[in-house]
């Protein structure tokens, strides 16, 4: 039977850094997390659908839940094909807010990926723009009408 050397096998480059470009992805999950700095954020998990050579690879996006960064969440949700015209205003982290994020699951979207650096100078990917997949139907979602009664605020 084979043996595993945990120390050796755990060495590696860590997160894969993908080349700069536009990637078609499908949103496969998200979770509420807290950054090392203490900032609450959403960690989006996606699987790459295009380009062909990267199909099936995973890519992650962190969107801080700060006033300065809310634009990023709004643009991602819009690029997922969610019609936000009648959503109005809602509390970050509320059941209604999370319901909107849930609607992004299994949706396809184009992410523009660039290469930046983390606080230690290591290369990392940054997703800096989102584009709607025009082959995907837009979902209408109204805060008051389509939310299940237990989610209404």
Domain residues for 117? 18-151
**How many domains are contained in the chain?**
1
Higher pLDDT, 118 or 78: 78
Residue 6 has pLDDT above 90, yes or no: no
Give a yes or no: residue 22 inside a domain: yes
Q: What is the pTM of this model?
A: 0.81
Mean pLDDT to the nearest integer, 130-152: 70
Give a yes or no: residue 4 inside a domain: no
DSSP 27: E
Is 103 buried (19+), middle (13-18) or exposed (0-12) by CB count in 10 A? middle
Give a yes or no: residue 9 inside a domain: no
Q: Which tokens is 6 given?
A: 């945990």
Give a yes or no: residue 97 inside a domain: yes
Give a yes or no: residue 6 inside a domain: no
Give a yes or no: residue 144 inside a domain: yes
Give a yes or no: residue 1 inside a domain: no
Which tens digits make up the pLDDT trace of 93-131? Answer: 999 899 999 999 999 999 999 999 988 888 999 999 999
Give a yes or no: residue 32 inside a domain: yes
Could you tell me what percent of the chain has a pLDDT over 90?
A: 65
**What pLDDT score was predicted for residue 9?**
55
Q: Are 94 and 104 in contact (CB under 8 A)?
A: no
Which tens digits make up the pLDDT trace of 14-37? Answer: 568 999 999 999 999 999 999 888
């Amino acid at each position: 039977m084979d043996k595993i050397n945990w120390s050796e096998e755990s060495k590696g480059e860590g997160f894969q850094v993908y080349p700069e470009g536009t990637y078609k992805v499908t949103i496969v999950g998200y979770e509420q997390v807290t950054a090392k700095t203490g900032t609450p954020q959403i960690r989006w998990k996606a699987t790459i659908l295009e380009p062909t050579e990267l199909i099936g690879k995973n890519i992650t996006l962190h969107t801080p839940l700060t006033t300065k960064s809310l634009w990023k969440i709004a643009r991602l949700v819009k690029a997922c094909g969610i019609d936000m015209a009648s959503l109005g205003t809602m509390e970050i982290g509320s059941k209604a807010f999370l319901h909107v994020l849930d609607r992004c699951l299994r949706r396809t979207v184009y992410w523009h990926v660039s290469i930046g650096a983390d606080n230690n100078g290591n290369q990392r990917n940054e997703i800096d723009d989102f584009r709607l997949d025009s082959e995907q139907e837009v979902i209408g979602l109204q805060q008051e009408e389509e939310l299940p009664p237990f989610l209404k605020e």
